[in-house]
Structure 1
């Protein structure tokens, strides 16, 4: 019998963003994360067989969740609600509890909202509500009128493409940045660190003595997971060019056709002067800048997060020499064992992001951006 065609999935920009938060969120339940990933793969045009093979699910399971989203939209991946035990609080009591969200639970009984209530009940009710007045997030609005063009160039390099042409075997992409103020905190004079034991985590004394700080400059090969790094007392043009020379004098970069250096807009790598300086010293090196306030496009930031979590913390070093030795040893081990990051942010995701920002952009700001883009 002929196989029925897969249900087409065409989520809106809002639905796609919600699905990404479900698929990649650290606090999302596993079953919801898998279902959201199935829907996202289906929206990208993947077949049910391909999705089942990549996720490890049964083909019928993939077909079922794909069909449920096609019929029910965004609420479909969630489990259907069960009856459960009837609530003992009325809707009015729940609403008054949320109105007093920033006060202690005892205030509910003092005002006569309810006879008794525990903190866990109030916490559960507030977690279910969409409004959380005690939480906030800071953000930076995109001001660069050429943001998309600059961001797309970086994303294309991550996908091994530059100006619409696939990169060759002798072309490489290196992401570079600096991590300032890596401190050496000595805790030996207060109390030595206790090694972890059975059912006991490592114990590090809160008090410490400062042993100085250094700057750590690193370059990360995006597609080969190769790391280069060097430590110094400060950052600047000379330390950055020394890092470039450290990488570009080694193979395969020394004889490569082109090596793309993805950098931010720091003082030592800013504007055309930095591009000309790099090209004059290494003709096969091409500097590519990320947009302003878009360091999340630079994959070396992920490498720095690994260094911070697995190398620097808990920051128990006797002096800066020990810090430098630890960083160099971690580079060798990382380059020998690591795999490239699974970069999932594409130009489609970039278009969704810009579309969401356009909805929050005032009309006068959009006119200014249009004039700047035309200029």
Structure 2
């Protein structure tokens, strides 16, 4: 039986350029590269058998792609659409599963506090949405809309009626402004707070230093050596920390910290020293402000809004202490804890730079606007929801 002659291939300039990019491009898929090379060789007048031998392909493969290109040009080099297996689930079932995942489990009467992929799959069968569905299918459906019901975020509503002016006063101090007037060179801003319950955990076995392809190893079992409170005052613009360790927090330990700072220069002779604190019991309310001013007339107590200690820059320093000193906790006794904290203060003060605080009053207004919009939306949803 005579063999059909190979179809002649002639390329236009644009087709040749695209085929060369496909055949020799570093990011081209391997299958597309092979097909483009078959067409380019065919355009040079080579026989199918020679192309198959040189490219290491089957003769039928070369004949197929040469024939498809001759009939439909470049679009023919792509794979044809395959019918595949019929869909097992309808779009409505997928939407019902997503809607179920966007509800709290308690609304469905199920005991878990959060959905994971297996729970909605069981609930789908229980509600007769589908006869059966796997957890992997549910997970794939939820991933289409980035729905992750197994994760959660916590938030807190603003309850302080004076949140805006209090927060602005703190942010203005960070920008060296108070009541619309710039701070002088003899005025300072101190951010202060307490880090409670710094424990001394004596490990029952020595901590092993890291080695090749091995992290530092800390024994899980430990003996309790007590706990202390670490109080720190951070000069916002000079990046200097003053700390002390106390058996517990309270008014007296906090005033000891204030005395420690205000008794040295340049704070003792400063015109004003602003102390930014949160609303902890050690320095809460007008009594604390009066107590501070009575002891040091040039000291001004400034409170952050309620539940807004994240505006206090000393919390950033405490996070550094937690990462670099406290964790992993392995101390023989409280004296070693206190010595380590004092040594870290000296090391930190030697090289510290002021924190690059970027949250401004305009950012504050944007945050409050988003919270108002979110709260209004929640109220509209609750009012529009039918009674159960």
Match among 136, 157, 164 for residue 173 of structure 2: 157
Deviation at 1:276, TM superposition (A): 1.2
1:116-173, Cα deviation, whole Å (9 max, x unpaired): 9896x87666445243222222221111211100110000001111011111111110
Q: Name the CA distance, whole Å, in 1 between partners of 2:256 and 2:120.
A: 62
Q: Name the CA distance, whole Å, in 1 between partners of 2:341 and 2:170.
A: 27
Larger radius of gyration between Structure 1 and Structure 2: 2
Match among 317, 323, 336 for residue 350 of structure 2: 336
**Greater relative contact order (CA < 8 Å, ≥ 6 in sequence):** 1
Find the residue that maps to 1:151 and give its secondary structure.
Answer: helix
Q: Does 1:271 align with 2:285?
A: yes
1:327-374, Cα deviation, whole Å (9 max, x unpaired): 0011111111111111111101111111122224469x9xxxxxxxxx
Partner of residue 326, structure 2: 312
Q: Name the CA distance, whole Å, in 2 between partners of 1:355 and 1:116.
A: 42
Find the residue that maps to 1:354 and give its secondary structure.
Answer: helix
Tell me if the contact between 1:230 and 1:243 (Cα under 8 Å) persists in the aligned partners. yes
In structure 2, the CA distance between the partners of 1:215 and 1:105, relative to structure 1 (3 Å rule), is closer
Partner of residue 168, structure 1: 184
Find the residue that maps to 1:261 and give its secondary structure.
Answer: strand
Match among 241, 249, 257 for residue 243 of structure 1: 257
Q: Name the CA distance, whole Å, in 2 between partners of 1:129 and 1:192.
A: 49
In structure 2, the CA distance between the partners of 1:122 and 1:279, relative to structure 1 (3 Å rule), is same
- Give structure 2 stretches of 5+ with no counterpart: 1-81, 102-114, 380-388
Find the residue that maps to 2:152 and give its secondary structure.
Answer: coil
Deviation at 1:280, TM superposition (A): 1.3
In terms of mean alpha carbon deviation, does 130-139 or 259-268 score higher? 130-139
In structure 2, the CA distance between the partners of 1:127 and 1:216, relative to structure 1 (3 Å rule), is farther
Q: Name the CA distance, whole Å, in 1 between partners of 2:331 and 2:214.
A: 22
Partner of residue 56, structure 1: none
Superposed counterparts of 1:1-375, under 5 Å: 92=91, 102-104=116-118, 126-187=142-203, 189=204, 191-361=205-375
Q: Name the CA distance, whole Å, in 1 between partners of 2:300 and 2:239.
A: 19
Tell me if the contact between 2:201 and 2:224 (Cα under 8 Å) persists in the aligned partners. yes
What's the C-alpha RMSD, in Å, of the aligned pairs? 3.1
Tell me if the contact between 2:118 and 2:134 (Cα under 8 Å) persists in the aligned partners. no
In structure 2, the CA distance between the partners of 1:153 and 1:203, relative to structure 1 (3 Å rule), is same
Count of aligned residue pairs for this structure pair: 276
Partner of residue 29, structure 2: none
- Give structure 1 stretches of 5+ with no counterpart: 1-85, 366-375
Q: Name the CA distance, whole Å, in 1 between partners of 2:148 and 2:288.
A: 46
1:191-235, Cα deviation, whole Å (9 max, x unpaired): 221101122111111111111000111100111110011001111
Q: Name the CA distance, whole Å, in 2 between partners of 1:218 and 1:340.
A: 16
Tell me if the contact between 1:183 and 1:213 (Cα under 8 Å) persists in the aligned partners. yes
Tell me if the contact between 1:105 and 1:117 (Cα under 8 Å) persists in the aligned partners. no
Partner of residue 385, structure 2: none
Q: Name the CA distance, whole Å, in 2 between partners of 1:105 and 1:362.
A: 32
In structure 2, the CA distance between the partners of 1:203 and 1:158, relative to structure 1 (3 Å rule), is same
Q: Name the CA distance, whole Å, in 2 between partners of 1:123 and 1:311.
A: 41
Find the residue that maps to 1:268 and give its secondary structure.
Answer: helix
Q: Name the CA distance, whole Å, in 2 between partners of 1:127 and 1:311.
A: 40
Structure-1-length-normalised TM-score: 0.66
Tell me if the contact between 1:185 and 1:315 (Cα under 8 Å) persists in the aligned partners. yes
Tell me if the contact between 1:105 and 1:122 (Cα under 8 Å) persists in the aligned partners. no
Deviation at 1:284, TM superposition (A): 1.1
